[in-house]
Amino acid sequence: MSNELIFGFHSVEAILNKEPERFIEIYALKGREDKRLNPIINLARQFGVSIQFMQRKALDDKAKGEQHQGIIARVKEGKKYNEKDLDQIIANSDTPFLLVLDGVTDPHNLGACLRNADAAGVDAIIVPKDKSAKLNGTARKVACGAAETVPLVQVTNLARTLRDIKEMGVWVVGTAGETDVEVFDAKLTGPMAIVMGAEGSGMRRLTREHCDELVKIPMVGTVSSLNVSVATGICLFEVLRQRRA
């Protein structure tokens, strides 16, 4: 099993609270003592995690340009979810709520989508193994801990996975600018998967063909599109609003 570096308070604390056995070592900024860093260091010590205090330049070099907030951790690779895990996730919920990201390659966007998904109550995010952002330190930092609460399911064939979840009773709704149906007018209750495509190119053809319905976000200004994480948040919270209603 390989190791990875994670950065920032939220991502380090989230794994420390959930899976402390994954920690190999923590690198912290020397001389920094505050109410954000100290509790993490104290908790890590309780679990017997080795801690190295470093000067800022050494910490910056280790982070290789990432915004580390004064703390970096080397951890063992976490659980990877696959199609079998997805089947179980769906089976365990009366009304499964899924997010599908087709071609989202920026780890910052992946992290932001994870954070949105956690806040909206999504059961899992589905991504293709190829041409998709990896769950690296950048994505985890942006996710602010959500990478440890929302399973990221990597699938070999996204179109086939969409077909399979439809057979399990999940309604698949894709987002596309050319449709006439606005997301606020669509019925988004019950078992649901929201599919978001890449910025610019949108969903791939086979992905689109496996959607039960297409919706769009109304745009009344001069810009023609939204950042994918922003668009994702709008769609997910519309599902949540309808479910709560």
Give the DSSP per-residue string, 137-188: HHHHHHHTTGGGTS-EEEES-HHHHHHHHHHTTPEEEEE-TT-S-BTTTS--
Strand bridging mode 124-128 / 213-215: unpaired
Q: Is 217 annotated as a binding residue?
A: yes
Please give the Cα distance from 182 to 64 (Å, whole number): 42
- What φ, ψ does residue 189 adopt, rounded to 5°? -110, 170
**Residue 1 pLDDT > 70:** no
46-58 pLDDT per residue, tens: 999 999 999 999 9
Q: Which amino acid is at 95?
A: T
The CATH number assigned to the domain with range 1-74 reads 3.30.1330.30
Output 53 or 31, whichever has higher pLDDT.
53
176-235 pLDDT per residue, tens: 988 999 999 999 999 999 999 987 778 999 999 999 999 999 999 888 789 999 999 999
Fold designation for 81-242: Alpha/beta knot (3.40.1280)
**Residue 144 pLDDT > 60:** yes
Task: Please tell me the predicted confidence (pLDDT) of residue 223.
Answer: 84
Please list the residue range(s) of the chain that carry CATH number 3.30.1330.30.
Answer: 1-74
Q: Which residue blocks in the chain are alpha helix, DSSP H?
A: 9-18, 37-46, 56-63, 83-91, 107-120, 137-143, 158-167, 205-209, 228-244
Sign of torsion over alpha carbons 15, 147, 239, 161: negative
Residue 208: Cβ within 10 Å count: 17
Buried/exposed code over 219-240 (b: 16+ C-beta within 10 A; e: otherwise) = eeeeeeeeebbebbbebbebbb
- Its pTM stands at 0.91
C-alpha separations of 197 from 155, 205, 219, 231 in Å: 16, 10, 17, 10
The CA-CA-CA angle for residues 100, 103, 105, to 5°, reads: 110
Task: Please tell me the predicted confidence (pLDDT) of residue 6.
Answer: 92
Of residues 110, 74, 61, the one with CA closest to residue 1: 74
Name the DSSP letter for residue 22.
G
Please list the residue range(s) of the chain that carry CATH number 3.40.1280.10.
Answer: 81-242
Q: Is 197 annotated as a binding residue?
A: yes
Q: Is 190 annotated as a binding residue?
A: no
Of residues 48, 97, 66, the one with CA closest to residue 195: 97
